[in-house]
Amino acid sequence: MRKVAIIGIGMTKFGNLWERDLVSLAVEAGAKACKDAGVDKDKIQAIYGGTMSGGLFVSQEHIGALLADYSGLKNIPSTRVEAACASGGLALRQAYLDIASGMHDLVVAGGVEKMTDIGGGAATNTLATAASQEWEAVQGATFPGLYAMIAKLHMKRYGTTERQMALCAVKNHKNALNNPNAQFRRQITVEGVMKSTRIADPVKLFDCSPISDGAASVVLASEKAAEKFSKNPVWIKASGHATDTLSLHDREDITTLKATVEAAKQAYSQANLKPADIDCVEVHDCFTIAEICAIEDLGFCKKGEGGKFVEKGNTKINGKIPVNTSGGLKAKGHPIGASGIAQAIEAVLQLRRHAKGRQVDTEYAMTHNVGGTGATAVVHIFGREK
């Protein structure tokens, strides 16, 4: 397989963007990525666009053709990619495989979601379509409730505390202060998290990622194209993808996301690296307990020690393994289809040494994008060298 690089990045601000629509967000992010890459849009040979549910959020399906149309790239192959909250990460993987296989040399991978055009109840119901309709959603189980079950068992089995969960949120909000595209650029306190409204015990409002609008795009290139267009490419060293049961009740252990474990195993093997080689990681912190599970499942600490690992400061900017330097889904925002691509953009910024105010000494960066409660997981590793 051929080597693949990211040579351009672009994203919109994340947040409640009432005045924007899905298409304008996607076009803005794509145009910024092409400009950053120094590539005329007419050179783009294919598009992979991640979006979870354009039909339910904005009554628009057939997203692939729509993105190509409004980007002025008619007639090129354009594919909509869906994997719930991992749609963006999977779009990146599909674009990577396209170029690695030799099919194309310049491809855009993007993600977009416009979630705020419907009310909170409708948004909750839409998000619940990423869970099992037969066994979970029909019983009234929402994602806060499902992750609350994971948290409850993790707390009972390993002694994890609500305070340790809160520390993840506080750290991510602090990191977001230096991310100009983040939805929440304000600090919070552990006490504030602990006093926030309980959504599904022990998950509180400030343990949850928000409803967000936004888009993100990257331009991927073959080795030859990267050498032609870019002086500072970031190389995709590995791409791992795995799945698990859709329903929590079918899993052997709901505190372990086996799809994450397997996708990470693939990525480490492909890159010939181990957890200790990773300098920073963007994990899928849709809820604070998800961040704790992720650092365990990715191998940064032993199973059950995630809460204590966080409490010791190991995941801070200057810690053993900086986690979510962008602010994560919790503070950067979580426009579902865009999140996996936004994670990759943070990895690129870190490797380019352009993450102003949140820079980490980085040679290898990792991203971890999850769909649902872990039925899909996509893990990428990026590096400065080929």
For domain 130-210+237-332+343-383, the question of CATH label 3.30.460.10 is answered with: no
pLDDT in tens, 319-353: 999 999 999 999 999 999 999 999 999 999 999 99
Separation of alpha carbons 167 and 313, rounded Å: 9
Q: What is the mean pLDDT of residues 169-190?
A: 98
pLDDT in tens, 211-245: 999 999 999 999 999 999 999 999 999 999 999 99
Please state the pTM of the whole predicted model. Answer: 0.98
**Tokens at 210, concatenated:** 């928000």
Query: What pLDDT is attached to residue 386?
Result: 87
Residue range(s) occupied by CATH 3.40.47.10 in the chain = 4-119+211-234, 130-210+237-332+343-383
Q: Are 293 and 306 in contact (CB under 8 A)?
A: yes
- pLDDT of 74 above 90: no
For 228-279, strand residue ranges (E) read 234-243
Query: Collapsing DSSP states into helix, strand and coil, what is residue 224?
Result: helix
pLDDT band at residue 102 under the 50/70/90 scheme: very high
What are the catalytic residues? 85, 334
For 195, list phi and psi in degrees, rounded to 5.
-90, -5
- Min mean pLDDT across 87-101, 113-127, 258-272 is at 113-127
* CATH number for the domain running over 4-119+211-234: 3.40.47.10
Find, among 116, 230, 181, the residue nearest to 328 by Cα: 181
Average pLDDT, the chain: 97
